[in-house]
Copies of this chain bind each other. A is one copy, B any other.
Amino acid sequence: MELKRLKYFIAVAEERHFGRAAARLDMAQPPLSRQIAALEKDIGAQLFDRSRSQIRLTQAGEVFLERARDLVERLDSAYREARLIGQGGAGRLRIAFVGSATHGPLPTLIKSYRSHYPDVDLSLSAMNNAELERALVQQDIDIAVARPALKIEDLRSVLLIEEPLMLALPDNSPIATRSAAVSLPELEGETFVLYPRRPRPSFADDVLQCCALNGFTPRNQAFAQDYQTAISLVSVGVGLSVVPRSVSQVSRPGVAFRPFTGENPGTRLTIHARLDNRRPHVLNFFDVLRRFTRQGPAGTAAR
């Protein structure tokens, strides 16, 4: 109810003439005079000195003009900022992912999103599947990248990548140093470093299912909380581990990565968001994701 008056006041102050200001504002002069008078009454001070033929700003008017310009400017920018955030062009998007996703196409996907929405603050954090599930349910995050997937209700889920499994072996192991191909069953007696099986489905399920398809169940199992720990255990000779191929692309002292023959059902990375999370940032992210997977996530190799 008073903002229009600020604009009116600015126009009159700049034109120093009610008639011209009214023309500029596309209105008649009398209502403009009335609005200015009302503004002056509200403020309780004269803003214009009308004693001469050419109207002039009073000192109060001079100061109020500065303030009014600033206010109009700020209001406008507040509108624009809110609009931008509302369209997902600014603000914050919270993404969490399993640690092993950092080697695959995820960084490329995130770069792509960033290039489309450079003003969005990305909050990135690594979590295991259990933490992802909790954070997603409690809306602490918008996007979860799980391996192989989260299986809770009311999630929007998109497959990011499917990749084969590989062996991670101590590099002084005879199996690692020999040139012949490796098959899984011959490792039945070795210690398999696995991950927690909860919540289902877990990466451990992928590995155990792979073993099952190859006709055996690992006899000795050790457990690690995440793939980094698992590889560390391998490097110090605790046993061997099975990892997604993308993980094998980083070299790690004491660890050798080898493919294996036989059945290899692979493992998947899945991107989730709550179905009821209609935040434009999330929708935009899935748009970028859709284009990304469609044009082939050749980014698998990248980085």
Contacts and interface: CB of A to CB of B under 8 A. Distances in A.
Interface of A: 1-4, 42-47, 51, 58-61, 63-64, 67-68, 70-71, 74-75, 77-79, 81-83, 85-87, 91-92, 276, 278-279, 281
Contacts of A61: 82
A193 B2 CA distance: 64
Contact of A63 (B3, B68, B82, B87): B82
A36 B71 CA distance: 21
Contacts of A74: 67, 70-71, 74
11 contacts: A2-B4, A2-B75, A43-B83, A44-B86, A51-B278, A58-B86, A59-B92, A59-B279, A64-B78, A71-B75, A71-B78
Nearest to A61: B82
Contacts of A59: 85, 91-92, 279, 281
A165 B20 CA distance: 58
A171 to B, nearest CB: 48
Contacts of A70: 74
A237 B249 CA distance: 101
Given A45-B83, A59-B279, A67-B82, 9 more contacts: A45-B82, A45-B86, A45-B87, A51-B276, A58-B86, A59-B281, A60-B85, A67-B78, A67-B81
Contacts of A81: 63-64, 67
A85 B45 contact: yes
A135 to B, nearest CB: 17
A198 to B, nearest CB: 29
User: 7 tightest CB-CB pairs across the interface, nearest first?
Assistant: A45-B86, A67-B78, A60-B85, A60-B86, A64-B82, A60-B82, A3-B3
A92 B44 CA distance: 18
A172 to B, nearest CB: 53
A43 to B, nearest CB: 5
A52 B302 CA distance: 42
Contacts of A278: 51
B63 A91 contact: yes
A68 B78 contact: yes
A174 B42 CA distance: 71
